[in-house]
Chains A and B, each alone.
Chain A
Amino acid sequence: MGKTIAEKIIEDHYIDNPHDDIHVVRLDAVLCHEITTPVAINDLVNRGKDEVFDPSKIKAVIDHVTPAKDSKTALQGKILREWALRHNIRDFFDVGRNGICHALFPEKGFIRPGYVVIMGDSHTCTLGAFGAFAAGVGTTDLEVGILKGICAFRYPATIKINITGDLPKGVYAKDVILSIISRLGVDGATNKVIEFVGPVVDNMSMEARMTLCNMAIEAGGTSGICLPDMTTVEYLWAFIKDEYASKEAALEDFVRFSSDADAAYDRIIDHDVSRLEPLVTFGYQPDQVKPVKEIEPIKVNQVYIGSCTNGRIEDLRVAAQVLTGKKISDSVRGIVVPATTDVYRQAMEEGILKIFMDSGFCVTNPTCGACLGMSTGVLAEGEVCASTTNRNFNGRMGKGGMVHLASPATAAATAIAGYITNSKLFKD
């Protein structure tokens, strides 16, 4: 019997099987941000164990609220900053060099196929796009990860989603993942890994694969995962070129971590996207999804383009394509948040930021910002936002606010119209 990629990675990192199907595994990286890590740091200090297992394997960023907005967030940043300094954690990214963790860490080349990584953040599953086992954890798991370089997981069961057909023009990875979540339900993949395969995934860029894997958690998944291929190698090549004689050699090494044809799956789902349309959520759960053209015209107060789901350069390019030569509605506040400093710089060099600004968008610095309702665009009671983020929970972007999740193309078109609508890039 063959094995899935997730099973192979877990077995490759095996340390112990203390009970039941619990596997304690070795970690290749522990990723940290300023919201969930300071409590772990303080707890370690209080226990007299202010240590880190390996400073070169710990990566830290201030991303959720940056620059700090008040004394409390300033203190969180300070705790993380001083800890990184005291333990010689070189890969620490502060304001001016930072970005949203799940966009920044891949961009810096910190992820490889076959890695096991954890972070105190539920969207860590994004990094599974590289063929890694990447899981969000709580602060206690993070704390043990920092101290010992280990984490405990159940032996992974996998749902395979075979994405087939031709993705229509104007329909994007975001629409694909929303359609999958609506099919699985918000707990359809709890305790399972979601493996995304098939011709549509093969043709996707790493950015699009990250968008897919990012929202695995919205169906309850432990991680999303894509199989490593030449696209993975190309993305990582700048970071690995000294380790391999050629790209083919790198690929050969990476595909050690790939699923066998006779691997056992919890479920296999064929998901044809040939007739998929741009989608949008309508309720307080990410599985409440409808085609844009089937919802009643919903007026929006704000359009938010950014986040670890859709704040990368490809996303901004698509939105800019829709916005070129257009003004956004007078009744809409448009906010665009490049996910990282490099995305920001690239968008500037490509003239994308100018297109956003000319259309009436506000460009903020890279941060999580309003995605979790903490800064730079929090909604007031009763306000409505079309957003390229990943969560539409009640109050997520501000108490009493309503969030409609959509792709960057739909969000941009919505900003122009003032109500949720399809972009010109999608033709019926």
Chain B
Amino acid sequence: MKNFSGSVLFLDRSDINTDEIIPAKYLTEISKQALKPHLLEDLRLDEFNARSDIEGKRAIITRANFGCGSSREHAPWALEVNGIHLVIAESFARIFRQNMFNCGMMAIELPAETIDRIFTDFYGKETQVETNFEKNVFTLTADNHRLEVSFSMTDFDRVLVESGGWVEYADSRY
């Protein structure tokens, strides 16, 4: 199983599309690794600097409809090769969400109030997330602040994460 804990990158905007996650001009790459330096390169967001802000981050927390637009799996791959295997959002576009789990990564939805609360409490602070996969709990910490948030995950998503992705699962079962 992949790692789902570590330093958090906050993206305070809804409707971040896959063109912003990885621009179309890199779709000519046929290796995932080549995408690494270009993650979120074209993101429109105040005070966001892709080069310095992504370094060392292991999770993203964002708003609604993350990953809308093009079906390109290059978007989750660009996250994957940067060591970001967990995205927490108010909601996701269907294809992006499925692509994440298909790659054995996690795309977890939390209610809008919880996302608001997380942004209020942690935005702008060095924040860590600790994922307890068995108990379905995220623990967020920054300075002296600590917040436990439970999440839900369907059984199907869980087996995809456990088996490492949909190719592995489908190949063993069908």
Q: Are the C-beta atoms of B30 and A394 separated by less than 8 Å?
A: no
Known interface pairs A139-B73, A374-B27; A49-B99 also in contact (CB < 8 Å): no
Known interface pairs A19-B154, A144-B166, A190-B93; A38-B30 also in contact (CB < 8 Å): yes
Which residue in B42, B92, B99, B156 is a CB contact (below 8 Å) of A138? B99
- Looking at chain A, what size class is its interface with the partner chain? 35 or more
Closest CB in chain B relative to A138 CB, distance in Å: 4
Q: Are the C-beta atoms of B98 and A138 separated by less than 8 Å?
A: yes
Q: Are the C-beta atoms of A148 and B170 separated by less than 8 Å?
A: yes
Which residue in A42, A49, A140, A394 is a CB contact (below 8 Å) of B19? A394
Residue B173, interface by CB 8 Å = yes
Contact with B along A87-99 (1 / 0, CB 8 A): 0000000000000
CA distance A187 to B19 in the complex (A): 16
Q: Are the C-beta atoms of A373 and B24 separated by less than 8 Å?
A: yes
Which residue in B64, B167, B170 is a CB contact (below 8 Å) of A43? B167
CA distance A362 to B110 in the complex (A): 49
* In the complex, chain B residues whose CB is within 8 Å of the CB of A190: 65, 91-94
* In the complex, chain A residues whose CB is within 8 Å of the CB of B155: 19-20
CA distance A72 to B64 in the complex (A): 34
Contact with B along A32-64 (1 / 0, CB 8 A): 000110110011000101000000000000001
* In the complex, chain B residues whose CB is within 8 Å of the CB of A140: 73, 99, 102-103, 165-167
CA distance A246 to B90 in the complex (A): 52
CA distance A20 to B102 in the complex (A): 16
Residue A137, interface by CB 8 Å = yes
Closest to B72 in A: A36
Q: Are the C-beta atoms of B28 and A65 separated by less than 8 Å?
A: yes
Which residue in B65, B69, B96, B170 is a CB contact (below 8 Å) of A393? B69
Contact with B along A390-422 (1 / 0, CB 8 A): 010111100100000000000000000000000
Contact with A along B21-38 (1 / 0, CB 8 A): 001110111101000000
Residue A141, interface by CB 8 Å = yes
Q: Are the C-beta atoms of B171 and A147 separated by less than 8 Å?
A: yes
* In the complex, chain A residues whose CB is within 8 Å of the CB of B20: 393-395
A66-86 interface with B by 8 A CB criterion: 70, 72-73, 75-76, 79
* In the complex, chain B residues whose CB is within 8 Å of the CB of A64: 27
Contacts A140-B102, A140-B167 known; list 13 others, CB within 8 Å: A36-B71, A39-B73, A43-B167, A72-B29, A120-B71, A122-B95, A136-B95, A141-B99, A148-B171, A285-B15, A373-B25, A374-B28, A391-B19
